[in-house]
Amino acid sequence: MNVDNTCPQRGNRYKTKEESHTAFLNAKRTYANKKWICNTCGFKINRSNKTQHLRSKKHLENEKRREECLTCSSDSCSSESVSE
């Protein structure tokens, strides 16, 4: 029976809970500081701000504008129309 709460398959990576907690926080900070690009707005922001941006008024307006047809104002327009 494994009494010291370590996984035998993964090995003993950290000797104390403090080391484990510090490593977890470092990994969390590293992940949050990586860049993410919004396909709708074209902004490059940190991943930690991704959810905040997706809920922002500016993003929602850009998303709505992206769905609209650029050539006409009707909703039933197909943008694949070919002019002959």
Residue range 59-83: mean pLDDT, rounded: 66
Measured CA to CA in angstroms, residue 25 lies from 19, 37, 62 at distances of 10, 24, 34
Residue range 56-66: mean pLDDT, rounded: 91
Read off the pLDDT of residues 25-38 as tens digits, 9 standing for 90 and up: 999 999 889 999 99
Residue range 5-29: mean pLDDT, rounded: 79
Counting Cα atoms < 13 Å in the Cβ hemisphere of 74 gives 4
